[in-house]
Every structure is written in structure tokens, then in C-alpha cells.
Structure 1
Amino acid sequence: MAEEEDTVHYDGAEGGWGSLRGIVQTALRERPSPAALNTLRRQNKVGGFMCVSCAWAKPAQPHALEFCENGAKATLWEMTSRRCTPDFFAEHSVTELRGWKDYDLEQQGRLTHPLRYDAASDKYVPCGWDEAFQAIGAELKALDPKSTVFYASGRASLETSYLYALFGRAYGHNNLPDSSNMCHETTSVALKKVIGSPVGTCVLADFELCDAIFFFGQNTGSNSPRLLHPLQEAVKRGVKIVTFNPIREKGLEVFKNPQSPTEMLTPAETQISTLYLQVKTGGDIAAIMGLIKHVLAAEEKKWAEQKQHVLDVDFIAQHTTGFEEIKAKADATSWEEIERESGLSRDDLAQAAQIYIEAHRSIVMYGMGLTQHVHGSQSLEMITNLWLLKGNVGRDGTGISPVRGHSNVQGQRTVGISEKPSLVPLDKIAQLFGFDPPRDEGLNTVKACEKILTGEVKAFIGLGGNFVRAIPEREKMEAAWQKMRLTVQIATKLNRSHLINGEIAYLLPCLGRSEEDMQAGGPQKVTMEDSLSCIHGSFGKNKPASTDLKSEVAIVAGLARATLPPNPRMKWDEWTGNYELIRDLIEQTYPEQFHDFNARVFTPGGFYRGNSARERVWKTESGKAQFTPPKTMSALGVDDAPGRFRLMTLRSNDQFNTTIYGYSDRLRGIEGTRDVLLMNPEDIAAAGLSEGQVVGLASDAGDGVERRVGGLTVTPFLLPNGCLGAYYPEMNPLIPLWYHDEESKTPAAKGVPVRIEI
């Protein structure tokens, strides 16, 4: 592999003055009000405002400034002084705006008034709230509920999410996909199958007790930088961190704490990873099999020589099933295959395995580098296999910890936003509200897209997000989208999804989480769930961007009132006036997890809703944790072939999901552009290309469909041979809709087969 000096890279550490400059640059662009400083001081603290960026945990004893660079950018983005008023839409047609870049659309600022699409002028025009609710309600009542989709991005509060799910089911469907379908649905499916819990098993205190942390496919530095604080503390007490990632991401290499005067004013910095292994994209199954083979060999050797165990044999006997099957699979898998598929040497894997063996307590963390593959579920099953060998689930200081993106994506699932009726207490809902909820399975993201393509879906309501920009097969989807009868988008800023509208379309602006939510019962607080299953309250104090904004709760309630027949048990007005009443409903629906909900809203560190696997209660088919042998050593959906590359879609340091804050990917040394193709220098030479050459990518999925993205500048980067990197969502047109995890249907955006076109 090429050396770093031959590639584009960043010489500094994550954090430090670079992070402060990134925050300042965003502040200069957004020009927020002076209240921004006070909001940042309150961010992620008890009684304060919960960040709208990532879902990482909020500690009971926060730092003086409990926000990271990305979290600060998200807050400043929401608090921008820019306003996207009806005057803007009077000047620009929807067709014209479709040609704008994502960044330029969002830079128009906060939406200020409800808007209706006027087909005659091809423009959005202002309308009243009652007018919008009544028109949308009339359209929904005229449609078959099964032909509609209610999508939720991962930032809406628990209160909004509960009402939104209730609205959908009372209307008559379970078509409730959310952003989890595009990122961590693989977690929900795979972990549920093998340990009986659809979410991770760790709590924040585990990071103070563990001896080793293993990372797979997660970019902490750009996506969840606050996580670097507990990682730095862990390293300082001797914890070894092992990272498997195709890209050397700065956040898991070196960290300079911006809140440490010593580190800011001296060369001091913390080396995060003890061992950093650049596995090939899609090669994690093979890499983990290598670790398992080494652990099993060490067990045999230690028992033969010392009559002592490496494995937790008592745990395996009492709490698991399938051990002999995984052992047989490991024995039958050759090191040659493991090295070929993982791109790693046996010695490197042995070194990583030895760290795992020597650690009494280990935590594994992972991100979309594992979940977004055709065989992503098998990657998570393999992680579980390795962790079960030493009983590293259900003990303090151990566990499996997926790192979530959206700030409340996990919580939305918890309170009922799910297309799977088996995950929702429908009998309890029927009892509480006096109607029979639909029992058939609804549409997830991929199935919703398929039915939009066939014309079976007639209406789409989006509770936040940028759905059309985030999904695969974008060209086909945008063309089909405009054939729908109704599209409704609830949002704070303009994005591309708002411009790919149906025959009838409404754009409904909502309050941001940092803003005061004043209702009939006074100022309201909301709640959300972090990645570690803790519930936190959030209280906005800022002046709303416009007096014409409504809260997400009020908008959902307004749509429900206008659509549903009267039901005395559905008190939409009362719920809008007092969110405590909604939390009472959540408590009644989920009493074990949300008992005393209103009394615990501002519990320091959040209140833990519990996890059966953490208690070693295995809600699986067998009643035990399940060892599962893999069916393949590659997580990819297609084999390698001459001229075929493995494309990973990436987020930049100046981005959160589809939101583009700017054009600085500082931590990778890329400035001023997103139109780049990252390649290993050896691959550049072998392909007859040169640095700076402009090329295109074409789908090489083998289905005969032409999918292309052009205008990409060849940029040397430290990647495994055969692997490419380019930015999301710009690369989404290259991903076939059918190319997804086999079990969860999560789009396989981290291993897209492509070829380079000159």
C-alpha cells in the first residue's frame, strides 16, 4: 500500500484548533443571533437543549462545554439569521431550484411560512395553516390508506413520534419507514435475532470499566466527536483500542482535546488506536473469522498446557447455543481465504485477537461500514459470535454498542414508528384509543420506493429529513416521485426533496429543537433517546425563526384532526397544549420502560429504559444467545471482476447526513469541493489515470441498468487496493434499489460495485 505522504491527508489531530476554526467558519456563514453562545452552553446538559446532531450519550456530569464541532455546526445551522421567505419562492421556480446544489438550497435559511405548490406558476406560494391541514386531510381521506407512506427522519422527539405513529395506524396503515431503514435497520434485525435485543447493550459506565474497545466501520471524528472524550479517558487509563476501517480516519488515530488548555497550548495529544487495520470494504466477516480462529486456537493451547480456559465456557454452556457450529466453520475456513477476503495479514489479525484475549472486559462499537452491505447482517452476527466467546455481553464493562447517527432515530422505533407490527403493542393501543390498528406489515424504505416506482403509492408525508436525496436509484425515483398525487414535507430548511413534488404538494415549516415551544399549557419540553438507550429531556429557549412556525407535535396533530373521524379518546388539541399528556400515553403504552416518565425527564445522564440482553435474558427463538456461522466471507453482493472497484460512500467533516455545512473535509485534507474520487495511488497508476484527472463512475452491478455519476477528480488517498471513496449523497445514483442487506433491506452503500469511465 502507498505511504501517507503520497496521498491527500490531514497532518493535524482531530479536535484542537482545527475544530474551533470549523465552528467559527460555520458561525460566520450562518450569522446566528447572540443567543447562540448561551444555547451552546446549555447543549446536552440537564434542563438544557439536546443536540440535533448525533445520538451519542449525554453524561450525568457534563463538561463545561458538552458539544463537539459537528454538534455546534448543527446548532448554528438551525439558529441561522437567514430566512427563506415567500418572497424567495416568488423569485424562483421549482424547476430552477432543482438545479441548485444542496448547500446553496439550505443556505437560504429557515423556512418561515407554510407553502403550497402552484402548478400553474411552478412555484411555492404561501397558504394558511388551516387551509393546508384541511386540503391535506381531504386528499388523504380520498385515498386508500395503504397507498400512503408516513416517513420520519431520526430527529423528531419521542412525543412527536408517538403521535405520528398513532396517526398512521388510526388512518389505516403501518407504512411508517424511518431513517433507520437506511442506516441501522441491520442492527435491529441482526441483534434481535442473535441476542434478542434490537439495540446495543452498553451504558456509558461500561466505558469506565472496559479493558479493550474494538471499532468496526465507524468514523468517530466526523460523525460523533463527543465520543472521543470517553475514548481519550479510556486510553489514559490503559484501555487498548483496535480499529478496523478501510480509511484511516483521524478521530480514531489522534485526538487533541479542545477543552484541555494543556493540549491546546502544547504539542500534547492522545493516540487513540493501539492498532489500526485497514480492512477491505466488505472484508469484515473474514477479518472477524480470523480473530475467532485465533481465539479458538489459543483456547486449545492454554487448556492443553495449563488446563485453563481462554473462553468463558460456563457462559457458553448456560447462555448460548450453536457454539459447535461456529467452531466447525472456523476450523473449515482457511487462513488463505481470510487474508484474501479481508485484505489483512494473519499476523495483524493475530495481534488484534491477542488484545481481545488479554482483555477481561471488551466493548465492540460499529457503524454503517458494517450495516450498509448486502451481507451486513452476517457481519453483525460475526461480531456477536466473537463477543459471546468470552461472555462479553451482559457483564459490566462489556457489550455491543452500535453508534447511531440521527439524534432520536433509536427513540422513534422505541415509541412505535415501525413498519413491523410485531414490534408494537397494538393490543395496548387498541385498548387505549378504541380502534383496531392494522396488523399487516407496512412498507420500509426500500419497499416504499419500489411501490412509488410502480405507482402504487399515491401520497408521501415526510416528518423531517431529505428522503429523495438520501435513497438509492435517484434518477428513477425522482421521475416516479412527481407522479404521486400528494407530497407533504415538514421541515426547518429547504432541501432537494421539497423540490421533487407530487401533483399536490405542501411545505410545512416547524420549530427547531433549540427554539421555545409555547403552547396553550405554557412552554413545552420534549424528549429523545440516545444510542445507549437513555432518555433525555430537551427544553428550547430561543426565539422562533418566525411567528408562523408550528411545533412538530402541533403539525402532526393538525394533520390528524383534519384526516381522522372524531374519536373522543384522541385528544389532539389537549395533547398539543400539554406534552406531559403525551408522555403519559407513552408510559401507559410502554409501562416497563417509561414508568414515571414525566418525573424522570431531566434525570442527569438520562434514565435508562433497560435492555433484556444486558440482563442476560435472551428473547430469541431458542431462549439463548445464538452463535451463527456465516454463509460467506465477503459482505459484498457481487464478486470481484477485472475493472470492478468497491465504492464506499462517505460523509465529510463539514456534513451531517444529507446536510452540507460547507466544503471543508479538513480531517481528510480535502478543501473547496465534494466532486472527488478517492483512490489508492497504486490503483491510479494501474488504471492509467493521473492525479487531478476528471473521470466518471458507472454502476457495475451486472443488471444491465445504466447508472452514472461524472465530474469526479481523481485524488490519491490511503485506501486498500480495489477500494474507492466518494461522497454521499452525491453517489446515490450508482446504488441499485435492489442492492441492500438481505435481511434488513438497508441499502448497501459501503460496497457499491462500480467501474471508472474516462
Structure 2
Amino acid sequence: MSDVEIEPYDDPAGGWGSARSLVEILSREQIPISGAALLLKQNKPGGFMCVSCAWPKPAKPATFEYCENGAKATAWEQTRKRVGPDFFAKHTVAELLTWTDFDLEAQGRLTHPLRYDPTSDRYAPISWEDAFAEIGRELCGFDPKSVVYYSSGRASLETSYMYGLFARLYGNNNLPDSSNMCHEPTSTGLKASIGVPVGTTVLEDFESTDCILFFGQNVGSNAPRMLHPLQDARRRKVPIITFNPLRERGLERFTDPQSPVEMLTKSSTRISTQYHQVKAGGDIAAITGMCKALLATDRETQAEGRPRVLDAVFIAEHTYGFEDFVGFCDRQDWAVLEKRSGLTREALEAAAAVYGRAERVIGIYGMGLTQHRKGTETVQMLVNLMLLRGNIGKPGAGLCPVRGHSNVQGQRTVGIAEKPELVPLDRLADLYGFEPPRDKGLNTVEACEGIIAGSVKAFIGLGGNFVRAIPDTERMEEAWRSMRLTVQVSTKLNRSHLVNGAVAYILPCLGRIEIDEQATGPQAVSMEDSTSCFHGSVGVTKPVSDHVRSEPWIVAGIAKATLPPNPKVDWDAWVGDYAKVRDAIEATYPIVFKDFNARLFEPGGTHKPLAARERRWDTETGKANFVVPQGLDEDPDMPARHADVLDLITLRSNDQFNTTVYGYHDRFRGVKGTRQVLFMNEVDIARLDLADGDTVDVVTESNDQYVRAVKGLRVVKYSIPEGNCGGYYPEMNVLIPLSHHDKQAKTPAAKAIPVRIAKAGPRPMPN
């Protein structure tokens, strides 16, 4: 981090920059040859599904069916570096707490089960038998309502089903997951609007679409394999209209690293045909402007006797609430729409004109829409736009929320949910002979509130880095240590292991890429991608240690040590043969998982049935609902927008995946050697009497008594709307008040944090 370089990057996404980055991480993780061969099995039949994002794998994969970040995730997991008992003998927890996220994970793979020793402030090895026995005794001493069962989005469908059943047999629905922190507004908003909690597109829809709308998702860093269907669409002259606060390279230009011609000629494909830099929290206003423009054009065509712009037949037959929505749009003033969105009327009318001419439109979005105080309403506003022209439930059209973790959507499908109405509890009761808890469990924000209040006594983490992913980091870390028990099932060391309860365990698990040998032989696992397709995955490499165990084995071990015997739940049989877990999943969800085992490895995946794809609407009205937002502002209760208060957007770099930081090179934004930066508009820099390169402190503007600050950030002039600034996640999470979340979905509002910026000392010398 001493050699900081900040300079513009002019090359496209992909290309030689991607190739160089791949070679660098394979070499750094000491797998340059075997890693390259391993990548040929990624997202392939008979191979493993990417451990990174949830973008679908095609029925006919390319030779290199992986992207830069997917390859980094594979190299990161398959590193030759190891973290065993000797490492912990050398380092206390207090010392490790001073290390960066990158340095912690960069030490390598965990190899032994560990228990925290408060006397020496170190983790020490423990046998699996003793770990399970001790964890079981602890869990038996708690009120079940005081225990949280968290899961990140990487655990397989089989593990997730067992984990959810374990929690309910134990006596609670406290099953928060990483979806609570990202796409919960999707689950909440889409369910109310169209009757399903997930997107409606499949990969094949990209082949026949004739227009794509893109909202708040950085494809170049967060789902680079999507660039291939986007590039194919552009070659067919399909317009791509992007709404995103920052200029992101993957949404501008792309060079296919798999194309020798493009690599040799350094040619690239222009991705966005219109690029609108909407203000943070301005998407409702922008979409309202598009809808207002469409309604005006539709009235003109009717008056002139020309074909209508709106799909009147679809609206009449399939929707509810249209007239109220029209009234809302008509009441909006263009000047207000322009001010809140940060876009001109002409720009919004231009976007609406292209949309209005297209017959089959896909609406893609990410956390730029969901992570706001009214993220749910923002998602529903996009649904409204799509309903106006019947763009749900027909080939080449639909909604495409881009999920992060590779199985975060699938976990919900098999029962990882704090909402009891989302789970077939009566079916579980019949299958396993118990009475499941019927009360609502804790989501992520509520779990954090319970930890602060002291009502949550124990936390079990199935993967992830919860302490770093959540908001209000400093408050949460202080409260975290008051818990009695923390258990982390992990592949690598992270900060969540070091901010521990009084009794703490680290349980090392196999990665998805490794061979999972059980009683009946090597096992396959499954997951669900962003387009609701189920895929099988088979490990292909030797486990990192003889002491690591599979996630199903670990879940079963804790469950057996905690729960009384149940003749209807044969944990050992499930661990010995994961096909039996899939049979149990099918028995619980017979329609969704019909013939699950037989169809596990269908090319392109097995499609989950979704009523909205067939224009059947499982809503209270029996139709797709136009939902009128309460207003244009996605963050209405933020402090009044004074000139010296900016809206901070949290960002991922090109060199990270969620909380995992692979390195300090955000290539596309031209930042190398540091993550301590603050991206600002040049007008705001001048207005606040700052200069590009200044060091500043950032403090949250809030009405409570807590001071939330990040110090020592370097100002970087960047193409971002006035009034907005950007900083890296998870470092900026300390600035998000726990109360700053979506009111319906409880998702932290990480894309609009009110902050003040102050110069911190003398201006640094130039590099």
C-alpha cells in the first residue's frame, strides 16, 4: 500500500488488463499451471460451478467459461498457502485485529478446527468430536430464540436445507442471510408486484431481446460473464440504456479476452448506447420521468390514430392499479423530476423513446436500486415501467436482478428465511414429526439490534464475514464480544473470527472446488443461479487438509450434538449420500424440485417453475400490480441536503468480491496501492475548498448520539454526480447507522449515506 498510484485507466473491460490480472493472482497464490488447468473445469459439465457470482452457466459453455473475478475466486480458494495451528501459536487475536482484511485472508486456507483460548488470546486446535460436544452443550443452555443461524450465499442447496431444518428443530426461524443485506427489496417488492420473489428472465432471453435497461449494477466488476451476452446483443444492434451514478468501464466498453482478433487488434464493443448518470437515490424520479414520457406519447398516438405505445391489452387483462399509477405520474412536475434524478427531461424522454419502440425489453438491476430507504419501492417502480409495455412473461423480456453470492437465491428456495410464510412448515412437520416454530425470526438488521440489546446470546455463521458485511461496524464489534458463543464455519481467516464471543470456534470446511468424499463416494452439490436455474457441481481437487470437513458434515455434527434423536431425521444417512438430501428437498418442495436427482446435470440447468413467466400472478389481486410510490425520494428521511452534506455510495473494487479483497488494484477506476480513497465530483471538491489528492475525514450526518467516522481518505476526482461521493465497501460500513435501512425489507441503505467531509491535515506530496 506504500506505492499508491492514481491515474486514469483508458482501456476497456476485459482485454489484456483482465489477462494480466489473472496471471498475477495465479502466480501469487502459487498455482500458475494447475490453476490454469483447473479453470477449464469451471462452469462446465462434470466440473464445478463458480464460487463467485450467481450468473448462469450456458448449456453450451465456451472453452473458457469464467471471468476475471471468477478466476480470482478460484485461485483464492485453491491457494497453496495454509493457516494451521502453528500460525495461531505465533499470533494473538489482539495482533490479528490490527491486520487488514486482505492480509488476513491472504494467509491461506484454514486446516484445523480451533477453539479460542482467552487466557493466551489465541486460537488452539481442538478435535472435531470435542468441538461438536462443547458447541452442543452450549446451545442446549440457551433459549432458542436467542440464537442466530446466519448463512452467506455460497453454501449449497443441500447444506442450506439441512441448516434451515436444524434451526427449526432447535426452535427458531432466526435464519438471516446475505440476501438481507443486498436483494431483500427484490424478494419483498417483486412478490407484492408480480407474485414471485425473483427475476423472470432466463439466459436465452438475451438472445431475442431488442432492448436492455440497466440500473445500478457494475457488470465489469461484479458479474463480468454477463458482458458476453451484452456484447452479443450489441452486435445485433440492441440498444442498452444505462442508469448508474458512476461511469463504470464495463458499462462503456468491452474487449472479449477469448477473442484472438479483439485481443490482437485491441478492438472493443461499445456496451451502453445511452449512459445516464442518475444521482444516488434518484432512480424513482428517473423511472417516473420515463413513464410520464411514455404516457404522453401514448396519448399523442391515440389522438392521431396511430398504434399505441402502451400495451393496452396486457394492462387490461393482466394488471391492477393502472389508473392510480397514471394519476401519480401526471401529478409529477418535470422540474422536480430533473432535480431529484439529476437528469434532464430531454435525456429521460430519449430513454423512453427507445424503450417505447422496443417489443421485448429486459430490465437488469443491482444494489444501486435495492440499498436505499425505499429500495423496495424503487424495485416496484421498475416493475411499473415494464408493465406499461407488457415486458414480463414473454420471450426476450423480463426482470433480471443480478445476485451476488453463487447460491444466495437458492438458499431462500430451500428454507433459509426468517419469514415463516416463505417455508412449507406444515410439510416439514409431517415429514419430520415435530412442530416447527411459527413466529417470525430475525433478519440481519434485527439480529444486529438483538446483539446490541443483549437478547442474542449466540451466533453461528455458515460462511461469510458477517462482522465486516453489516452496518455500524464499530458499534457492532463492541456489542459482539458480549455474546456467549460464536461459531464460524469457514475456508479462510477473516475479521469475524477475531471479534468473537466468550466461547468461540472456527470450523474449517471444504471449498466447493474440492472433492467431497463421503460413505457412498464423491458427492455432488447443487445451487440456484440468478435466473432460477438449478445446477449440479462436482469437486475436482484434493482437499487442503485431512482435518477439513464438508459443510453438510459439519451441520450434521452440530445438530446431532445439540438435538434429541429424531428417527425421522437421519443426519448420518444424509451426510453419507447427498442424493438423499435432494430427495428430502424434493419431498418438501415437490413441484419446484420434481425429479431433482435425475435432472441435476441437465445442460444449462433445470428451470424453477415461475408463475409470472407464464403470466400467472400469485398476488392478492390475482394480477400484476402497479404500485404507486409514496414519493420521488428513495431516502426521504435523510437530513436536509445542505451544500456541505453529500450522499455517500459504497462501492466494490475491481479487485474484490463482496467482503473478500483480492488486492489493491481497482484497475477500471485507476486506483492502485490503496483502498483509502473518496471519489468526488470536481465541482464538490472545489466548493468544499478541497483539491484532488487531499486527505479528508468523512463523518456521518445523523440525529443520534454516535459519531461514525472514517479518517484519512484521499480525494480522487471522478465522474460522479454532484452531491454524491463514493468509497469502498466494507471499509465504509462504519458510516451506515443500523437504523438507516429499507423500511419494508430492512436492507441497509448503503447507496445513500449522508456524510460531511473535512480536510485532515496538510496535503500529501504527489507520488
- SS of the residue corresponding to residue 247 of structure 1 reads coil
- SS of the residue corresponding to residue 447 of structure 2 reads helix
Which whole-Å CA distance do the structure 2 matches of 1:38 and 1:714 have between them?
41
CA shift digits 1:344-375 (9 cap, x unpaired): 00011111101100101100000000100001
- SS of the residue corresponding to residue 295 of structure 2 reads helix
Residue aligning to 2:757: 756
Residue aligning to 2:723: 722
Residue aligning to 1:503: 502
Do the aligned residues in 2 keep the contact of 1:33 with 1:80 (CA within 8 Å)?
no
Do the aligned residues in 2 keep the contact of 1:294 with 1:353 (CA within 8 Å)?
yes
- SS of the residue corresponding to residue 619 of structure 1 reads coil
Once the two structures are superposed, the pairs formed by residues 659-674 of structure 1 within 5 Å of their partners are: 659-674=660-675
Residue aligning to 1:341: 340
Structure 2: 5+ residue stretches without partners: 1-5, 760-767
Is 1:175 the counterpart of 2:213? The answer is no
**AA at the equivalent of 1:600:** R
Residue aligning to 1:62: 61
Residue aligning to 1:40: 39
Displacement of 1:585: 0.3
Once the two structures are superposed, the pairs formed by residues 558-577 of structure 1 within 5 Å of their partners are: 558-577=557-576
CA shift digits 1:446-500 (9 cap, x unpaired): 0000000010000000000000011001111101111101000000000000000
After superposing on structure 2, the runs of 4+ consecutive aligned residues of structure 1 that deviate more than 3 Å are none
Once the two structures are superposed, the pairs formed by residues 481-630 of structure 1 within 5 Å of their partners are: 481-630=480-629
**AA at the equivalent of 2:704:** D
**AA at the equivalent of 1:113:** H
- SS of the residue corresponding to residue 146 of structure 1 reads helix
Taking only aligned residues, the RMSD between alpha carbons, in angstroms, comes to 0.9
Residue aligning to 1:432: 431
Do the aligned residues in 2 keep the contact of 1:253 with 1:273 (CA within 8 Å)?
yes
Do the aligned residues in 2 keep the contact of 1:191 with 1:197 (CA within 8 Å)?
yes
Residue aligning to 1:642: 643
Once the two structures are superposed, the pairs formed by residues 85-104 of structure 1 within 5 Å of their partners are: 85-104=84-103
Displacement of 1:381: 1.1
- SS of the residue corresponding to residue 598 of structure 1 reads coil
Residue aligning to 1:218: 217
Which whole-Å CA distance do the structure 1 matches of 2:582 and 2:46 have between them?
17
Which whole-Å CA distance do the structure 2 matches of 1:646 and 1:25 have between them?
35
Residue aligning to 2:207: 208
Residue aligning to 2:247: 248
CA shift digits 1:129-184 (9 cap, x unpaired): 00000000000001111000000000000000000000000000000000000000
Residue aligning to 2:763: none
Which whole-Å CA distance do the structure 1 matches of 2:74 and 2:546 have between them?
20
Which whole-Å CA distance do the structure 1 matches of 2:354 and 2:704 have between them?
43
Residue aligning to 1:4: none
Is 1:740 the counterpart of 2:723? The answer is no
Which whole-Å CA distance do the structure 2 matches of 1:141 and 1:582 have between them?
25
Residue aligning to 1:306: 305
Do the aligned residues in 2 keep the contact of 1:35 with 1:542 (CA within 8 Å)?
no
How many residues are paired up? 752
Residue aligning to 2:161: 162
Do the aligned residues in 1 keep the contact of 2:462 with 2:488 (CA within 8 Å)?
yes
Do the aligned residues in 1 keep the contact of 2:190 with 2:198 (CA within 8 Å)?
yes
Do the aligned residues in 2 keep the contact of 1:200 with 1:402 (CA within 8 Å)?
yes
CA shift digits 1:650-673 (9 cap, x unpaired): 000000000000000001111110
Do the aligned residues in 1 keep the contact of 2:15 with 2:266 (CA within 8 Å)?
no
- SS of the residue corresponding to residue 754 of structure 1 reads strand
Displacement of 1:692: 1.2
- SS of the residue corresponding to residue 542 of structure 1 reads coil
Do the aligned residues in 2 keep the contact of 1:33 with 1:81 (CA within 8 Å)?
no
Do the aligned residues in 1 keep the contact of 2:26 with 2:35 (CA within 8 Å)?
no
CA shift digits 1:515-554 (9 cap, x unpaired): 0000011000100000000000000010111010000010
Which whole-Å CA distance do the structure 1 matches of 2:706 and 2:90 have between them?
38
> What TM-score does the superposition give when structure 1 sets the normalisation length?
0.98
Which whole-Å CA distance do the structure 2 matches of 1:628 and 1:582 have between them?
39
CA shift digits 1:426-461 (9 cap, x unpaired): 011011111110000000000000000010000000
- SS of the residue corresponding to residue 528 of structure 1 reads strand
Which whole-Å CA distance do the structure 2 matches of 1:55 and 1:32 have between them?
24
Residue aligning to 2:764: none
- SS of the residue corresponding to residue 593 of structure 1 reads coil
Which whole-Å CA distance do the structure 1 matches of 2:306 and 2:261 have between them?
49
**AA at the equivalent of 2:682:** P
**AA at the equivalent of 2:215:** F
Which whole-Å CA distance do the structure 2 matches of 1:718 and 1:397 have between them?
32
Comparing 403-412 and 43-52, the one that deviates more: 43-52
Residue aligning to 1:142: 141
Which whole-Å CA distance do the structure 2 matches of 1:9 and 1:588 have between them?
55
**AA at the equivalent of 2:212:** I
Do the aligned residues in 2 keep the contact of 1:39 with 1:49 (CA within 8 Å)?
no
Residue aligning to 1:3: none
Which whole-Å CA distance do the structure 1 matches of 2:7 and 2:238 have between them?
30
Do the aligned residues in 2 keep the contact of 1:8 with 1:717 (CA within 8 Å)?
no
Displacement of 1:703: 2.7
CA shift digits 1:599-642 (9 cap, x unpaired): 11111000001111111111111111111111111212414123
Do the aligned residues in 2 keep the contact of 1:190 with 1:198 (CA within 8 Å)?
yes
**AA at the equivalent of 1:210:** T
Which whole-Å CA distance do the structure 2 matches of 1:201 and 1:163 have between them?
27
Residue aligning to 1:82: 81
Do the aligned residues in 2 keep the contact of 1:51 with 1:71 (CA within 8 Å)?
yes
Do the aligned residues in 1 keep the contact of 2:23 with 2:32 (CA within 8 Å)?
no
Displacement of 1:200: 0.2
Which whole-Å CA distance do the structure 2 matches of 1:644 and 1:297 have between them?
36
Which whole-Å CA distance do the structure 2 matches of 1:164 and 1:34 have between them?
37
Displacement of 1:307: 4.2
Which whole-Å CA distance do the structure 1 matches of 2:663 and 2:504 have between them?
29
Structure 1: 5+ residue stretches without partners: 1-6
Once the two structures are superposed, the pairs formed by residues 679-718 of structure 1 within 5 Å of their partners are: 679-718=680-719
Do the aligned residues in 2 keep the contact of 1:280 with 1:341 (CA within 8 Å)?
yes
Do the aligned residues in 2 keep the contact of 1:534 with 1:608 (CA within 8 Å)?
yes
Is 1:657 the counterpart of 2:658? The answer is yes
Displacement of 1:37: 2.4
- SS of the residue corresponding to residue 479 of structure 2 reads helix
- SS of the residue corresponding to residue 204 of structure 2 reads helix
Percent of pairs with identical residues? 60
Comparing 58-67 and 25-34, the one that deviates more: 25-34
- SS of the residue corresponding to residue 24 of structure 2 reads helix
**AA at the equivalent of 2:472:** E
Once the two structures are superposed, the pairs formed by residues 163-562 of structure 1 within 5 Å of their partners are: 163-562=162-561
CA shift digits 1:321-350 (9 cap, x unpaired): 110111001110000000000000001111
CA shift digits 1:385-410 (9 cap, x unpaired): 11000000001111011000000000
